[in-house]
């Protein structure tokens, strides 16, 4: 197994340091049977709120990784670091720019054996991440599949992340995109607010990421774990 273990993950909860969870709610998330907790968000993520959330999750055995979205919040002590590289923006800072700055800033402190890139394709124009990165979300299935091949086959990125944050995606398009991913692990996230949607996503990708519903309806969020795990691995 590689350093972080993401090739074994079927279900992941993404927790936002900028949002509140009580100890009881966090306990339910960490004990849910999910394969990992990803800490991340596209706005309002600070060093302080990231340390705070990490140290609360650390009381549990579940693997906990940071999805690095801000240089100010590169907190040591996570089990791993996932670094988004946006493949559908014309703004190079969101593909490599912040990354180069980060490498210059943190240098030998970067735990490379626990760090992996995610080739991000952002497909919901209304998502904060789409607005921030000025992502070109006007892509058809062939446009998406070409970016997946670029990520997986040419750049050999270990993860391709099909990101619909805030909205459930087009599962036909996601299925076609995933089929182009070769050896890369395909993550899907966006709008999963029920066991049924979790099941649909689990049928077409390797790893299903569940975010906002944790804060909106925790019981529905928890039900996604079994729905994903009951599905045979893709």
Ligand X SMILES: O=P(O)(O)OC[C@@H](O)CO
Ligand Y SMILES: CC(C)=CCC/C(C)=C/CC/C(C)=C/CC/C(C)=C/CC/C(C)=C/CC/C(C)=C/CC/C(C)=C/COP(=O)(O)OP(=O)(O)O
Residues making contact with ligand Y (CB under 6 A):
16, 40-43, 67-71, 74, 76, 81, 83-84, 86, 94, 98-99, 102-103, 106, 109-110, 115, 120, 127-129, 132-133, 163, 165-166, 211-212
Q: Which stretch binds ligand X (CB under 6 A): 98-106, 107-115, 159-167, 198-206?
A: 159-167
Tell me the C-alpha to C-alpha distance, in Å, between residue 103 and each of 110, 112, 205, 225.
8, 11, 31, 35
| Integer Cα distance of 103 and 129 in angstroms | 22
| Integer Cα distance of 79 and 62 in angstroms | 10
| Integer Cα distance of 119 and 86 in angstroms | 6
Smallest separation (angstroms) from ligand Y to the CB of 62? 19
Position among 32, 133, 212, 224 found at the interface with Mg ion (CB under 5 A): 212
Q: Which stretch binds Mg ion (CB under 5 A): 52-60, 145-153, 188-196, 210-218?
A: 210-218
Q: Does residue 165 belong to the site contacting ligand X (CB under 6 A)? A: yes
| Integer Cα distance of 166 and 202 in angstroms | 18
57 and 113 in contact (C-beta within 8 Å)? no
Q: Which residue has the tokens 């969870």?
A: 21
x-or-dash pattern for ligand X, window 167-206, by CB under 6 A?
A: ----------------------xxxx--------------
Position among 17, 63, 169, 211 found at the interface with Mg ion (CB under 5 A): 211
Smallest separation (angstroms) from ligand Y to the CB of 13? 12
| Integer Cα distance of 158 and 180 in angstroms | 13
Smallest separation (angstroms) from ligand Y to the CB of 199? 22
CB-based burial label for 39 (10 Å; 0-12, 13-18, 19+)? buried
For residue 191, say whether it is annotated as part of any ligand binding site.
Answer: yes
Quick one: which H or E segment has residue 18? none
Smallest separation (angstroms) from ligand X to the CB of 109? 26
Residues of this chain that interact with Mg ion (CB under 5 A) are 211-212
Bind-site residues for sn-glycerol 1-phosphate: 14, 161-166, 191, 211-212
């Amino acid at each position: 197994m590689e350093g972080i273990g993401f090739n074994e993950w079927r279900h992941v909860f993404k927790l936002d340091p900028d949002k509140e969870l009580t100890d009881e709610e966090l306990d339910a998330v960490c004990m849910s049977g999910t394969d990992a907790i990803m800490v991340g968000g596209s706005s309002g993520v600070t060093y302080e709120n990231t340390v705070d959330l990490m140290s609360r999750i650390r009381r549990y055995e579940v693997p906990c990784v940071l999805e690095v979205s801000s240089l100010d919040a590169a907190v040591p002590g996570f089990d791993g670091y996932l670094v988004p590289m946006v493949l559908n923006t014309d703004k190079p800072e969101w593909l490599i720019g912040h990354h180069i700055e980060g490498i210059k800033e943190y240098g030998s402190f970067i735990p490379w054996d626990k760090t992996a890139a995610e080739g991000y394709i952002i497909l919901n124009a209304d998502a904060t991440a789409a607005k921030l990165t000025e992502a070109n979300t006007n892509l058809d299935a062939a446009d998406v599949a070409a970016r997946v091949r670029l990520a997986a086959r040419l750049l050999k990125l270990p993860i391709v992340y099909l990101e619909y944050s805030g909205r459930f995606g087009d599962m036909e398009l996601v299925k076609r995109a995933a089929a182009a991913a070769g050896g890369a692990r395909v993550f899907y996230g966006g709008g999963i607010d029920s066991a049924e949607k979790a099941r649909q996503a689990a049928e077409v990708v390797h790893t299903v990421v569940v975010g906002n519903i944790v804060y909106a309806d925790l019981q529905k969020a928890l039900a996604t774990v079994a729905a994903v795990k009951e599905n045979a691995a893709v």
